Amino acid sequence: MVNYKQDLPPKGGFEAIKFKRNLPTKGPGGAVIFGAVTAICAFGFWRVGLGNLEKRELQREKAWSRIHLVPLLLAESDRDIYRREQAALAREKEIMKDVPGWEVGQKAYHSKRYQPASIVVI
């Protein structure tokens, strides 16, 4: 008779094998993060929309500030152009005074429409 002891599981069986990860759950869940990102994006796009409307108004403001200045700038440059034209006509008259039949300031076109001078004598 050989004395032996049969190797048996402990009473109540073996402990369950710890194969599951045992990490604490940290931070918000996926749905929360996804929701937060969506909310932030939505807020941002809403601001972008408002900003686009505002930008349009800023452009309108800039355009009208220029429109209001057009008449006075135009008036000033008109006087300057008129002065230069008159001076050019006077010079032409002086230079061409000996040429019979010369018409001072005659247009190159058969039109009454104003044509700005394309050549200036410096």
Partner 1 sequence: MSTHREAKFPAKDYVDPTPLPSSVPHVDELGVTSAPLKTASFFIGEHCKKYNEDFMLCKAEDRDPAHCLAEGRKVTRCAQDLITKVRATCLEEFNAHWECLERNNQEFYLCRKPERKFNSCVFEKLNLSKNIPGSPADKPQIHEKTWPIYGAIQK
What's the distance, CA 57 to chain centroid?
14
Residue 82 in contact with partner 1, rule: CB under 8 A: yes
Q: How far is the CB of 120 from partner 1 (least distance, A)?
A: 6
Residue 107 in contact with partner 1, rule: CB under 8 A: no
Residue 97 in contact with partner 1, rule: CB under 8 A: no
Closest CB to partner 1 among residues 26, 113: 113
Do residues 67 and 80 lie in contact, with contact meaning Cβ atoms separated by under 8 Å? no
Q: Which of 36, 37, 90, 95 binds partner 1 (CB under 8 A)?
A: 90
Residue 109 in contact with partner 1, rule: CB under 8 A: no
Q: Given the structure tokens 């002891």, which residue do they identify?
A: 5
Question: Which residues bind to partner 1, rule: CB under 8 A?
Answer: 47, 50-51, 54-55, 57-58, 60-62, 64-88, 90, 113-114, 116-117, 120, 122
